[in-house]
Amino acid sequence: MMAYSSIFIDTWGWVSLGHRRDNYHPAVKQVYEQMRAAQSPIHTSDYVLDEVMTLLFKRENFQEAVRFMEGIFAAVELGQVQVHRVTSEYFSSAWKLRKKFQDKPLISFTDLTSMAIMQAQDIQFVLTQDEHFIQVGMGFVRVP
């Protein structure tokens, strides 16, 4: 398994990690555990966590969704996961990306905010299966 200097976890990555029946769960869990064991920086955003909560509470039973989200919050408290707030600067950068990628109308604004954060924080790797991170040609590398 490849070692990553730092990684951004997209909505897909968290949902796959939290949904044990997901086909990608074992691979995502392995990446996540490897990153934590190596104490490598793990990044996400408040917009991503908003999407994660919405999806998990739709798909899982309430107690399981609460347990998973509280696990993320505990990792944040322990400094194992850094949550980037979508500040007005990140929002503005994402808006510029929205206008730049007019030929890609299916990219969500949340993904654009993630890209703005990744660019500003010099994060290359993203835990996702979302092709948009590759299609934009910003040098992002999808994991797994």
Which CATH number does the domain housing residue 70 bear? 3.40.50.1010
Q: What is the number of other CB atoms lying within 10 angstroms of the CB of residue 56? A: 21
pLDDT for the residue 1: 55
Per DSSP, helices labelled H in 9-108 are: 11-18, 25-37, 46-59, 62-77, 88-100
∠ Cα 105 110 113 (to 5°): 100
Phi and psi at residue 72, in whole multiples of 5°?
-65, -45
pTM of the model: 0.94
Q: What is the mean pLDDT of residues 18-45?
A: 92
> Helix, strand or coil for residue 23?
coil
Domain assignment of residue 103, given as a range: 7-143
Confirm whether 2 is domain-assigned.
no
pLDDT for the residue 44: 98
